[in-house]
Amino acid sequence: MIKLNNVVIDLATSETHTHNVDVTENPTEKGQPIVDHARAKPFGLVLECFVSDSPRGAVAQARGTITPAQVYDQVLALLGTLITVETPGGRWENMVIALLSRPIAADSGAALRFSLQLKQVRVVDAAARTQRVALPQVAHKKALGGNNSKALAVAALKSYYANIIPNPPTQKRKSLLYQGAEKIGWR
């Protein structure tokens, strides 16, 4: 018996697990750790499924009176959602149906055959990060012309950007190539 969330499928006639690694095709330096040049791809699972029109035993109890066509509709409803897959081969969370194909044959009757390709999605917690930045102290109001709030704001921004941007946007920046040529004395 196979379960996709709460959808019960009678059996998988075939279950294939895939573990792929994406290996660079670029040359690598001798002695460098291989971990820099190979990255594991998400786990994959291929199931060839069968849903009987007359289930027996535990499958009949778990599925109830749902027809094979209704089971297929339930599987279709799972497309594009994270699901938990349970098979005799294991249990996997955060899986997504990447491909659902259904061959139709005249000899299958009311039973249903279909194949699923599933991939595991790596889910991470994206913690919200806030950073408080204190604006630098500016000169007294009198030095800036009394209660002129615009002058205060401009002075605060100039002072702030002078501390975080080495070359203020008003200055023309030199290209990295030009800067390198200056350093070695070509300019």
Residue 141: which residues within 8 A CB-CB, separation 6 or more?
Answer: 147, 148, 152
Number of CB atoms found within 10 A of residue 181's CB: 13
- Bridge partners (DSSP) listed for residue 119: 44, 96
Q: What pLDDT is stored for residue 106 in this prediction?
A: 76
Nearest to 4 by CA among 148, 105, 103, 118: 118
> Is pLDDT of 187 > 90?
no
**For the whole model, what pTM was predicted?**
0.60
28-78 pLDDT per residue, tens: 778 777 777 788 889 999 999 999 888 788 877 787 788 888 999 999 999
Percent of the chain residues past pLDDT 70, beyond the cut: 79
Residue 120 burial (CB < 10 Å; 0-12/13-18/19+)?
Answer: middle
Map out the domains of the chain as residue ranges: 2-21+37-120, 135-169
Q: What pLDDT is stored for residue 91 in this prediction?
A: 95
Q: What pLDDT is stored for residue 60 in this prediction?
A: 78
Residue 152: which residues within 8 A CB-CB, separation 6 or more?
Answer: 138, 141, 144
Q: What is the mean pLDDT of the chain?
A: 81
Residue type (1 letter), 127 = A
Q: What pLDDT is stored for residue 58 in this prediction?
A: 82
Number of CB atoms found within 10 A of residue 148's CB: 12
How far from the centroid of its chain's Cα atoms is residue 8's Cα? 27
Spatial separation of the C-alpha atoms in residues 164 and 166, rounded to whole Å: 6
153-183 pLDDT per residue, tens: 777 777 766 666 555 555 566 777 777 777 7
